[in-house]
Chains A and B, each alone.
Chain A
Amino acid sequence: EVQLVESGGGLVQPGGSLRLSCAASGFTFSNYAMHWVRQAPGKGLEYISTVSDNGGRTFYPSSVRGRFTISRDNSRSTLYLQMASLRPEDMAVYYCARGRGGATKRYFDCWGQGTLVTVSS
């Protein structure tokens, strides 16, 4: 069974840093691009990062570029999101998701349960 399990969320002060992890199982992790998607309380879904299957390419929307860093360890089947200079508007549930298809056809076929990041003083 394909499974994604996020961890690392918690309370952090504005300007602080946090690293999220996503442990994958049930599939060959190194064969898939992986993504992070977040959802602020009571709001919709927002795509925030992508890493290619071998980790060589990363992508970010302007809202987090320069502050967030996505990476992966294929030997551990684990995805990471290093978040820095956190702002109150970064408070959200963060989901990792497996990607399928090329750029214009990409969809997210498996999702973790999410981990909550709270940014507050």
Chain B
Amino acid sequence: QSVLTQPPSVSGAPGQRVSISCTGSSSNIGAGSDVHWYQQLPGTAPKLLIFANNDRPSGVPDRFSGSKSGTSASLAITGLQAEDEADYYCQSYDSSLGDWVFGGGTQLTVL
């Protein structure tokens, strides 16, 4: 059971907008810890997608955006493309555990 909860799967048609939620608690996201997102394409290592809640590393398209409110965060992908089909993970810091923690991951399917 992950400390951060994500839906196991989401799907959308090309060109559509999808959102992936990441629900935490008062000891992580709600305590003010930043939320970060990673994309893992099939058979590859994770790649940083969003850091510090809503910043994008250079090279990441602005179709990807992040937001955070209360004890939750979201990753939004607009103009969905076939190449976006991947697993997505949120990550934060939990002050009760004293550890960095990941969500369980969400598999995005582009229909």
Q: Which residues of A contact B (CB under 8 A)?
A: 35, 37, 44-47, 50, 59, 61, 95, 100-101, 103-114
| Residue numbers in A under 8 Å from B2 (CB-CB) | 44
| Interface hits, B1-36 → A, CB 8 Å | 2, 31-34, 36
Residues of B within 8 A of A104 (CB): 31-34, 93, 95
Query: Which residues in B have their C-beta under 8 angstroms from that of A109?
Result: 48, 51, 57
**Interface size grouping (class) on chain B:** 20 to 34
Q: Within residues 36 to 70 of chain B, which ones have a CB less than 8 A from any CB in chain A?
A: 36, 38, 44-48, 51-52, 57
A107 to B66, CA, bound (A): 14
C-alpha gap A26/B103 in the complex (Å): 30
Question: With A44-B105, A107-B34, A107-B51 in contact, is A113–B45 under 8 Å at CB?
Answer: yes
9 contacts between A and B (CB under 8 A): A37-B46, A44-B103, A44-B104, A47-B99, A104-B31, A104-B32, A107-B36, A107-B51, A109-B51
Which of B34, B47, B102 is in CB contact (< 8 Å) with A45?
A: B102
CB-based nearest A residue for B106: A44
Q: Are A59 and B102 in contact (CB under 8 A)?
A: no
Contact A59 B52, beta carbon cutoff 8 Å? no
Task: Output the least CB separation between A106 and chain B (Å).
Answer: 6
Contacts of B34 in A (CB 8 A): 101, 104-105, 107
